[in-house]
Amino acid sequence: MKKLILLLFICAVLYGPRLRAQAGEESAFQPERRVFVIRNFHTESGVTLPEARVVYGTYGHLNAAHDNVILLPSHYMANLHGYEWLMGPGHALDLNQYFLVTSELFGNGSSSSPSNTPEPFHGPRFPVMTIRDNVQAVHQLLLEDLKVTHLRAVIGFSMGAQQAFQWAVSYPTFADRVVATSGTAKTWPHGIVRLESEIAAIQADQTFNNGDYTSEPKEGLQAFGLVWTAWLFSQEWWRDELWRNDNPPGTTFDQVLDKFRTDFIPGGDANDIILQMRTWERHDVSTTPGFNGDVKKALRSIQVPFLYMPSATDLYFPVGDARYEAQYMRTVSLLPIPSLWGHPAGAASDPADGKFLNENIAAFLNGKPVPSEKVVYQPLKQ
């Protein structure tokens, strides 16, 4: 099958909750889709949901000892197919060796979300969910639904990387190893400013009506798509017109930009889109109980080997933030992805990035040394 053009790839693989069906792409894998239901789920916001649903997928076979499991928590508005770039022959995750669990974040439109939860929590009344809420729910899922008490690894991209960090802090010995690509341990203030600008773009549409809309706020969503796109790739990606790589000859810049404006997250619900941005904004491992807002202390608590792979040109999670965090991590290997693709480099949007990710993640999982920037460890002041 001919490759999908770049824009559909990004919309469908990285960010679209309806993913492949709408884009016309069929997965080469056949994961089992499952739903785990938690009754009376207590959220960090203080709201108790009578029923919280977590959609997840499984790949491969769970062995008798239940000790061949790798968790792949989903990223922004993605579904359970979001990590297939890591799977299969010649890739880091051999389905004959590992049992893979891909969990979907609250708010993606399939797991419990503003769009699919009945009143009194429908739409804008759905509680803001934190990364820790998501990690807690998946921890319960593993224990109760799959009878898994330990993981070989947690591997996460973007908001999945946020979850990977939270797993390492909340459950420091639950996984043998942790990998985070294109994501940080905390959403730093500049990232919150970006997310607030994207939320404001949606809310400025009068149709939004404070979240009680009767039809999707189309103009607001288009404005959101443009603001989001401005941060998605690096300036060099646009300057060098790398969008031409997988587009038909003759495709123009205006056509590319219009596609991002009009069809960035196909079928996405505005309240769902905002909810996951609120989740992103509130991510901070230092607010985990016991750390009293001290991010350095939280990072210092990480015990297992940690492969930290920021994109060298990421505007969402700048490599400088990763370098700042890494100096407080005792077990870190810091390996920036040498890419011009910005944020999506952490999910193998370019074949060269996919090769770099798969080779180094495979080596890390097998206990082999991986390249690392020199990190000058900063001990905590007493």
Per-residue pLDDT of the chain (382 residues; tens, 9 = 90+): 333 334 434 444 444 333 333 333 456 789 999 999 999 999 999 999 999 999 999 999 999 999 999 999 999 999 999 999 999 999 999 999 999 999 999 999 999 999 999 999 999 999 999 999 999 999 999 999 999 999 999 999 999 999 999 999 999 999 999 999 999 999 999 999 999 999 999 999 999 999 999 999 999 999 999 999 999 999 999 999 999 987 899 999 999 999 889 888 888 999 999 999 999 999 999 999 999 999 999 999 999 999 999 999 999 999 999 999 999 999 999 999 999 999 999 999 999 999 999 999 999 999 999 999 999 999 887 5
Residue 53 token pair: 């649903």
In a domain, 98, yes or no: yes
φ and ψ at residue 20, rounded to 5 degrees: -70, -35
Does some domain include residue 201? no
Pairing between strand 32-42 and 48-59?
antiparallel
Tokens standing for residue 192: 């919150």
- CATH at 100: 3.40.50.1820
- Residue 128 resides in a domain: yes
Residue 13 lies in a domain: no
Q: Quick one: tokens of 24?
A: 């016309």
Do 206 and 174 meet the contact criterion of CB atoms below 8 Å apart? no
Number of domains composing the chain: 1
Residue 224 in any domain: the answer is no
Report the interhelical angle of 189-203 vs 218-232 (nearest 10°). Answer: 150
Is the four-CA dihedral 49, 121, 142, 357 of positive or negative sign?
negative
H or E element that contains 70: strand 69-73
CA dist., res. 102 & res. 337, Å (int)? 23
Range of the domain at 72: 31-192+267-365
Q: What pTM does this model have?
A: 0.93
Residue 108, in any domain of the structure: yes
Instruction: Determine, yes or no, domain membership for 281.
Output: yes
Cβ(81)–Cβ(57) below 8 Å: yes
